[in-house]
Chains A and B, each alone.
Chain A
Amino acid sequence: AQSVAQPEDQVNVAEGNPLTVKCTYSVSGNPYLFWYVQYPNRGLQFLLKYITGDNLVKGSYGFEAEFNKSQTSFHLKKPSALVSDSALYFCAVSSPSGAGSYQLTFGKGTKLSVIP
Chain B
Amino acid sequence: SQTIHQWPATLVQPVGSPLSLECTVEGTSNPNLYWYRQAAGRGLQLLFYSVGIGQISSEVPQNLSASRPQDRQFILSSKKLLLSDSGFYLCAWSVQGPWETQYFGPGTRLLVL
A contact residues vs B (CB 8 Å cutoff):
32, 34, 36, 40-46, 49, 51, 88, 90, 94-96, 99-104, 106-109
Contact = CB atoms under 8 A, between A and B. Distances in A.
A34 B44 contact: no
- 3 nearest A-B pairs in the assembled complex, by CB-CB distance: A43-B104, A102-B98, A44-B104
B44 A106 contact: yes
Contacts of B109: 41
B98 A109 contact: no
Nearest to A32: B99
A49 to B, nearest CB: 6
Given A101-B32, A106-B44, A43 B107 contact: yes
B108 to A, nearest CB: 10
B97 interface: yes
Interface string B3-29: 000100000000000000000000000
A88 B101 CA distance: 18
Interface string B80-109: 000000001010101011111111111101
A89 B100 CA distance: 19
Nearest to B90: A43
A107 B98 contact: no
Contacts of A103: 46, 49, 59
A49 B109 CA distance: 28
Given A32-B99, A99-B51, A101-B51, A90 B44 contact: yes
Contact of B98 (A42, A96, A106): A96
Contacts of A46: 101-103
Contacts of B96: 100-102
B101 A49 contact: yes
A101 B6 CA distance: 22
Nearest to A108: B43
Contacts of A101: 32, 49, 51, 57, 96
Contacts of A108: 42-43
